[in-house]
């Protein structure tokens, strides 16, 4: 099981920015596909952005043009740069790791609150 530790959440005003980080424990990090998910109160967990081991990316329609996912294999870390934040982006954000033949791992989550 991969240990994932998220950081960078907090309270920000609408229109502001935050950068989330997720650091993995595995030395095989470069082989993993990684993703950011979020879950708002009373809603299901949803994919926000994902990045493959080959650096391919995809985004939820609601965040395209505002959020950017990236990875640094040397630091075993992925990032989510979130710009132009909206109140509807408020949620707990989770990091997930995926690789063939292994159950996915999840981080503990980090709270993002967008409010004036």
pLDDT tens-place string over residues 24-72: 999 999 999 999 999 999 999 999 999 999 999 999 999 999 999 999 9
Please give the average per-residue pLDDT across 89-95, as a whole number.
Answer: 98
Query: How would you class 1 by CB atoms within 10 Å of its CB: exposed for 0-12, middle for 13-18, buried for 19 or more?
Result: exposed
What is the three-class DSSP state of 89?
helix
Could you give the CA distance from residue 110 to residue 84 in angstroms, rounded to a whole number?
A: 19
Query: Is residue 84 predicted with pLDDT exceeding 90?
Result: yes
Query: Is residue 19 predicted with pLDDT exceeding 90?
Result: yes
Residue 2 CA to its chain's centroid (Å): 15
Please give the average per-residue pLDDT across 6-22, as a whole number.
Answer: 98
Kindly state the tokens that stand for 39. Answer: 């879950």
Which 8-state DSSP code applies to residue 43? S
Please give the average per-residue pLDDT across 92-102, as a whole number.
Answer: 96
Query: Is residue 95 predicted with pLDDT exceeding 90?
Result: yes
> What residues are paired with 59 via a beta bridge?
49
């Amino acid at each position: 099981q991969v240990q994932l530790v998220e950081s960078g959440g907090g309270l920000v005003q609408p229109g502001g920015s935050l950068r989330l980080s997720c650091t993995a424990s595995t030395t095989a990090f470069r082989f993993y596909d990684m993703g950011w998910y979020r879950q708002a109160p009373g809603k299901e967990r949803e994919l926000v952005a994902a990045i493959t081991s080959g650096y391919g990316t995809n985004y939820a329609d609601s965040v395209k043009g505002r959020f950017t996912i990236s990875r640094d294999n040397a630091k075993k870390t992925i990032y989510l740069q979130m710009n132009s934040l909206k109140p509807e982006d408020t949620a707990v954000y989770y990091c997930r790791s995926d690789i063939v033949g292994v159950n996915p791992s999840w981080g503990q989550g980090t709270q993002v609150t967008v409010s004036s």
